[in-house]
Structure 1
Amino acid sequence: MKPSTSSFNEVKKAIVLLSGGLDSATVLAIATAQGYECHTMSFDYGQRHRSELDAAVRIAEQFHAKTHRVMQMNMNAIGGSALTDMDIAVPTGGLSETVPITYVPARNTVFLSYALALAEVVGALDIFIGVNAVDYSGYPDCRPEYIAAFETMANLATQAALEGHKVKIQTPLIHLSKAEIIQQGVALGVDYAKTVSCYQANSEGLACGQCDSCLLRKQGFREAGLDDPTPYAI
C-alpha cells in the first residue's frame, strides 16, 4: 500500500540501514536523538556469518526502532568478495592500500535501493547510512560523491519525489574518524559490546581481532581513549 501525500508530513520518519556493526549502531543512535521514527533494515545477503544480524536485532530493540526488517537476498550467487565467497580468505595482514577483497560489488547500491523503496512506502524522507570516508577500508561506495550521485538518482526514480517529496541520504559519520564516531556513540548511549563488526565473527559473535574491520575498531577505541568492549575469540 502506497502512503497518502499527507503521510510524509505526519511524523518525521527515517529508514536506517543497520548492519549490526559499530558505525550503523551509532547512526541509529544519532537518528533517534534527532527525533526520527526509525525503521531499521538489515540484509541477509549471503555474508560469512549471521552474528551481525543478531546484533542488529539487539540494537534495534535498544533504540526502540518502530520496525525492523531483515531483507533476504543471495549476493553469494554473484561472489567476487571474501564476504560472500567462502573460497576467498578474509585478509588479516593489515589495511590494504587498494580496494580490498572484502569489498562486495554494488552492495551499498543494492542496500540503498531497498531503503529507498521502503522510504516511499512508509512515508520517510530520510535514509541514514553509516558510510565513512576517513577511517574505512577504501570501498568506492563509501565516498561522498557516490552518495550524492545516488541521492540524485533516487529523486528521479520515485513517485514520491515526482510529487514533491524528495529523499535525503543522511551520512552523519562520513567525515568523522573512528575515534570520533565511538565518542559520539558513547555519548548517545550505544552499548558497543552488543555490536559485531568483524568480517569473520564466529557463531557466538566473537571477533577475530585481525581483519580490517577489527583493526579499525581497535584503533578507534585506542584513539578515543576508551576500553574496547569487543568480545574477541583470541
Structure 2
Amino acid sequence: MNGQTSERAVVLASGGLDSTVTAAIARRDGYALYLLTIAYQQRHAVEIERSRQVATALEADQHLVINVDLGTIGGSALTGHLSVPKLRTESERNRDVPVTYVPGRNLIFLSLAAAYAEVLGASIIYFGANVIDYSGYPDCRPEFIQAVEGALQTGTKAGMQGKGIEIRAPLLRMSKAEIIRLGLTLNVPFQLTHSCYDPVGAMACGQCDSCQIRKQGFAEAGVVDPIQYAVC
C-alpha cells in the first residue's frame, strides 16, 4: 500500500503497457493507487488477469474490475467477429479510424472512473491515452479529454461543489520508445503487461497493430521486450 499520501487517484488500468506506465507515474506523483479495470467482452481478455498482476506488483490500494458488455453492441474487431488487421504499415494504421476502435469505450471508461472517483473522494483520474501511436482513435485525442472534463464539471456532484475531477493523460504526446524508457526509470513490470489485440492463448500474436507498435517501441528504446510473441 502506498503510504506517501492519503490523496487518492483513480487509474484506468487495462493490463497493457501504457496504462501500467501511467499507474507507475501516479505512484511516483505520490498518490494512493485505486486501479479500475473494465472487462468489456474484449477478445484479448487475458489483459484482465494481467491487470490483477500489475495491481499486485504496483501495490495498489485497491483494484476494482467492472464488467460492461460492449460485445452485445459490437461494431469493433475487439468485441465482435470482425478480423483484427495484421502486418499493416504505419501509414496504413494512421489512414482511418481502425476497425479495432470500440464505439464509446473510452467515454464509458472515463464515466465509470469518474463515478469511482466521486465515491472515493478522489479528484484525479489517470488515463493512458496516446495520440502519437494511436492517432486513429478519436477518443484518445486531447479535445476528447477536455470535453469529458467539461462534462464532469457540469454533471457531477464534485463539479457542482467546485471540486471538479481532473483527467491526467501523461503519455499523450510521447512516442512508444519514450514511454518505455520512462517506464524503465519507474521500475515498471513490463513482463506482466499485455498489448496484443488478437492473442494466441495468452501469447501475443506479434502481427496486430498493437504488437507491431510495441515491438517497434522496444527496438527504438534499445531494450529487449520481456514478453513472448507467437510470431516474432
Q: Pick from 78, 85, 99 the counterpart of residue 83 of structure 1.
A: 78
2:64 is aligned with 1:69:
yes
- Residues paired across the two proteins, number: 223
Amino acid corresponding to residue 216 of structure 2 in structure 1: Q
2:86 is aligned with 1:92:
yes
Contact residue 52 and residue 196 of structure 1 kept, 8 A? yes
CA offsets per residue over residues 109-160 of structure 1, 9 Å max, x none? 0000000000000010000010001122510000011101110111111111
2:146 is aligned with 1:154:
no
CA offsets per residue over residues 73-92 of structure 1, 9 Å max, x none? 1101000000000x211110
Contact residue 32 and residue 38 of structure 1 kept, 8 A? yes
Contact residue 128 and residue 171 of structure 1 kept, 8 A? yes
Structure 1 unaligned segments of length 5 or more: list them.
1-9
Alignment of 1:189-200 (within 5 A): 189-200=187-198
2:30 is aligned with 1:32:
no
Structure 1 runs of 4+ off > 3 angstroms?
none
Cα RMSD between the aligned structures?
1.1
Q: Report deviation, 1:50.
A: 2.0
Q: Distance in 1 between matches of 2:153 and 2:200?
A: 40
Q: Report deviation, 1:11.
A: 2.3
Alignment of 1:137-176 (within 5 A): 138-176=136-174
More deviation, 43-52/114-123:
43-52
Alignment of 1:173-188 (within 5 A): 173-188=171-186
Q: Report deviation, 1:49.
A: 2.9
Amino acid corresponding to residue 98 of structure 1 in structure 2: D
Percent identity for Structure 1 against Structure 2: 48
Contact residue 199 and residue 213 of structure 1 kept, 8 A? yes
Q: Distance in 1 between matches of 2:110 and 2:85?
A: 26
Contact residue 13 and residue 126 of structure 1 kept, 8 A? yes
CA offsets per residue over residues 38-62 of structure 1, 9 Å max, x none? 1101111110032100110011111
Match of 2:50 in 1: 55
CA offsets per residue over residues 145-181 of structure 1, 9 Å max, x none? 1101110111111111211211100000001000000
Closer, same or farther: CA 143–137 of 1 in aligned 2, 3 Å: closer
Q: What SS is found at the alignment partner of 1:76?
A: coil
Contact residue 87 and residue 212 of structure 2 kept, 8 A? no
More deviation, 52-61/222-231:
222-231
Q: What SS is found at the alignment partner of 1:89?
A: coil
Contact residue 127 and residue 170 of structure 1 kept, 8 A? yes
Contact residue 109 and residue 141 of structure 1 kept, 8 A? yes
Contact residue 44 and residue 196 of structure 2 kept, 8 A? no
TM-score, L = length of structure 1: 0.93
Contact residue 137 and residue 212 of structure 1 kept, 8 A? no
Q: What SS is found at the alignment partner of 1:135?
A: coil
Match of 1:14 in 2: 9
Amino acid corresponding to residue 52 of structure 1 in structure 2: E
Q: Pick from 103, 126, 131 the counterpart of residue 129 of structure 2.
A: 131
Q: Distance in 1 between matches of 2:170 and 2:7?
A: 17
